[in-house]
Structure 1
Amino acid sequence: MATASSTPSPDHLRMLVKVARMYHERGVRQPEIAAHLSMSQPRVSRLLREAAERGVVRTVVVSPEGVHAELEDALVAQYGLRDAVVVEVEGAGVDVIPALAAATATYLDATLAGGDVIGVSSWSATLLETVKVMRARTKTPFAAREVVQIVGGSGSPEVQLHATRLTSRLAELTGARPVFAPSAALVGSPELRDLLSKEPAMAAAMQAWSRLTLALLGIGTLEPSPLLRLSGNAITPEDQKRLKAIGAVGDVCARYFDAEGEPVAAPFNDRLIGIDLAQLRGAERRIGVAGGLDKVAAIRGAARGGWINILITDMEVARELLASE
């Protein structure tokens, strides 16, 4: 048989086209093609392979409506990400949380592997919505060993249930053991932080941070989210001003960073109970889930600084990230 590097005869090319059209356009199976043309099935297979090599057959992937593979690939290339998911949100000013939550739930269902140790930020409304729509895993082995709070999960009674429910429900869905961080994220003094860190339950949670294989992360701005504000863990307006003055643009687990993703010297760092960047980078997969144009600077910084290496966001944010880099 002629090779792709040689010049085939017109008769051979006609045979390539005939076999290719029967297989790709008419859906005729290879054994039936072989019988119809009185040739062996291995020869049919070789002809189909040659048709692809010569460009007689070209495979084109057409993304369905609502799938933005080109944007995702561009984000991965531009920011050095491991993966990206871009969701479409209908209409301006629409709440992006339901779409992001649905996409995150689907992504986790497809990518969780047996034995994961999952770290989860406690005060993310999007992650809370994710576990509401996520399906329970029925495969064995279970998808995770532990689900660990990676920032203090205690807060005001009105919203304390949210942080606890996020961790416990994700653990239930994945067949994992929940590990809670039974402290506020921001405490009154460095001395209190040191004392709380030595409490057995809190110390166990902090030790688990070194075992993370995956982290689920919200990305915040200088303006606290409604959930974080209600929890009692939000920074004060005075601290917001200080952070802005030193160039902070956003946070992951209450660790603030600048436009390049570099950690900043926040005035409350020594009162914070939460994972830091060095510990977070120990997790192979760090999934940042955030959207809305108000978060573009924070998301960009989180990607640049390696706080996240997988991004789930909306289409408008994706376009801004690509346009402004």
Structure 2
Amino acid sequence: MNVHAMSICSLLRLFQVNPTNPVSQGSAEMVLNADDQRLMVKVARKYYEEEMTQAAIAEFYGVSRQKVQRLLDQGKKDGIVRISIRPPLHLHEKLESDLESLYGLREAVVVDTELCGIPGMVRTSIGIGAAEYLLKILKDNLKITISWGETLLCMAKALVRCSVAKKTKNITVIQGLGFVSEPSIDSHSCEIVNLIAGVLDAKKYLLSAPGIAATHEAREVFLSDPNVSEVLQIARCADVAFLGIGTLTPDTMIIKKNDSISWSEMKALKDRGAVGDIALRYYDKDGRLVPSVVDKRVVGLALDELRNIKTVVGVAGGLEKVEAIRGALTGKLIDVLVTDCFTARELLLLQSGETVCHD
């Protein structure tokens, strides 16, 4: 499928922070001293290059979120942040059709990226592709369930940067997994829903519960809450789900952002054959659930419930995720895959039985 032919997000946005650019003449909106100019550059790097949220940046530098927003706005006006736009270098219809054929996918979306070794760039490119796909399938009364993950956050941010020309009514965006960081700050799962609902002028349903409860008993208490059970029931009945795909490594976000699961617990899952997760449900190379005490603490949709949603879109890429993505494809956990060209080639080589070399 060629999503690059679309008119809204078919151009790859590259954010460049230029600390040496002088303040543009005639810009009177905000007069900055030298300290604020230095802070502007730091804030811009955190937001555009490291993909931190504005709330996290504000907390990191001890300033208000409003000041962060003003500095980002002023950075664009003054040329500190430059947005350059260029068409994608290549289209990948052949990779898409091969993925669809070999893995039985309903649809594959393969985006171009020049730098397979830089995760931030890969996530940004895939996020734009996923945003394009969402806009393509958007229609009145669509119900969208969202999980969490850095690439899904990139998708949401790509939607924010796009002008959504397609007018739709009665869109619903539902959080299918509890929050994955402290509830007092923006978590990816909540923020993604908020951003997408805001762009689409949609009704939103948020889960007021952690993604992983402290104990199985605590999880049962959360699930017995009428508000939580209502949101999950609405999520089960969605028309489409957009899901991130995670790996089992010490630097994965669930380890860094949440103390509800330890590396020793994750390593135990890995030792039992887990290769990846979707919505914190860990599965093996064949896409089968790996039972564990962790699974009994998750507040969110189960793998079978996600699989039963009419269209399940996996949004993930990067060579480090190939095994996890392949497991999801083998287990028919997703119907649509949005990924990058390097990951697509790797998946095809593995499925065809060829030896894959990493240069």
Query: Does the pair score TM above 0.5?
Result: yes
User: Offset at 1:65?
Assistant: 4.3
Q: Which residue of 227, 245, 248 corresponds with 1:222?
A: 248
Which residue pairs with 2:155 in the alignment?
A: 130
Deviation at 1:203, TM superposition (A): 1.4
SS of the residue aligned with 1:263?
Answer: coil
Taking a change above 3 Å as real, the CA distance of residues 220 and 266 of structure 1, as seen in their structure-2 partners, is same
Cα distance change on mapping 1:322 and 1:154 into 2, 3 Å: closer
Q: Does structure 1 conserve the Cα–Cα contact (< 8 Å) formed by 2:214 and 2:260?
A: no
1:141 to 158, 168, 175: 168
Q: Is the 8 A contact 1:180 1:201 kept in 2?
A: no
Q: Which residue identity lines up with residue 70 of structure 1 in the other structure?
A: K
- Confirm or deny that 1:91 pairs with 2:118: no
Q: Does 1:115 align with 2:141?
A: yes
The answer on whether the counterparts of 2:177 and 2:299 sit within 8 Å (CA) in structure 1 is: yes
Aligned-pair distance for 1:150?
0.8
Q: What CA distance in whole angstroms lies between the structure 1 residues aligned with 2:129 and 2:333?
A: 20
1:67 counterpart residue number: 91
Structure 1 segment 235-250 matched on structure 2, within 5 A = 235-250=261-276
The residue type equivalent to 1:125 in the other structure is E
Task: Determine the structure 1 residue equivalent to 2:128.
Answer: 102
CA contact (8 A) 2:143 2:173 kept: yes
The AA in structure 1 aligned to 2:114 is E
Within 5 A, what are the aligned runs for 1:166-315?
A: 166-223=192-249, 227-232=253-258, 235-315=261-341
Match of residue 317, structure 1, among 340, 343, 350: 343
Distance 1:305 1:234, change over 3 A: farther
SS at match of 1:303: helix
Q: Distance in 1 between matches of 2:182 and 2:214?
A: 15
Amino acid paired to 1:263: L
Sort the Cα spacing of 1:159 and 1:225 in 2 relative to 1 into closer, same or farther, 3 A. farther
SS of 2:144's partner is strand
CA distance in 2, matches of 1:225, 1:114: 40
> How far apart are residue 231 of structure 1 and its match?
3.1
- Whether the 8 Å contact between 1:147 and 1:167 is mirrored in structure 2 is yes
Partners of 2:111 and 2:340 within 8 A in 1: yes
What is the Cα deviation at residue 125 of structure 1? 1.1
Q: Does the CA contact (< 8 Å) of 2:179 and 2:187 recur in 1?
A: no
Q: Which consecutive unaligned segments of at least 5 residues does structure 2 have?
A: 1-87, 352-359
Spell out, residue by residue over 1:6-47, the C-alpha distance to the aligned partner (whole angstroms, 9 max, x if none).
xxxxxxxxxxxxxxxxxxxxxxxxxxxxxxxxxxxxxxxxxx
Question: Sequence identity, in percent?
Answer: 34
Secondary structure (helix, strand or coil) at the match of 1:160 reads coil
Displacement, 1:195?
A: 1.0
Cα separation, 2, equivalents of 1:136 and 1:224: 38
Write the distance in 2 (CA, Å) between the matches of 1:200 and 1:65: 50
Query: Cα RMSD over matched residues?
Result: 1.9
5+ residue gaps, structure 1: 1-63
Measure the CA separation in 2 of the matches of 1:148 and 1:213.
11
Distance 1:234 1:283 in 2: 28
| CA displacement, residues 226-269 of structure 1 (integer Å, 9 cap, x when unaligned) | 54334316631111221112111000000011001111112211
- Cα deviation code 1:151-210 (max 9, x no counterpart): 112522575344322111111222221101111111111111111112122111111122
Alpha-carbon distance in 1 for matches of 2:259, 2:101: 35
Give the residue type in structure 1 aligned to 2:317: G
Q: In structure 1, how many angstroms separate the alpha carbons of the residues matched to 2:155 and 2:139?
A: 18
Write out aligned runs for 1:49-68 (5 A): 65-68=89-92
Contact 1:159/1:230 (<8 A) preserved: no
CA contact (8 A) 1:159 1:231 kept: no
Deviation at 1:136, TM superposition (A): 5.3
Residue pair 2:177, 2:189 contacting (<8 A) in 1 also: no
CA contact (8 A) 1:212 1:282 kept: no
Deviation at 1:277, TM superposition (A): 1.7
1:159–1:227 CA contact under 8 A, matched in 2:
no
User: Aligned letter for 1:281?
Assistant: R
* Distance (whole Å) between structure 2 residues aligned to residue 225 and residue 204 of structure 1: 33
Quote the offset at 1:74 in angstroms.
Answer: 0.4
TM-score between both structures, scaled by the size of structure 1? 0.75
Distance 1:163 1:293 in 2: 24
TM-score (norm 2): 0.68
Cα distance in 2 for partners of 1:76, 1:156 equals: 39
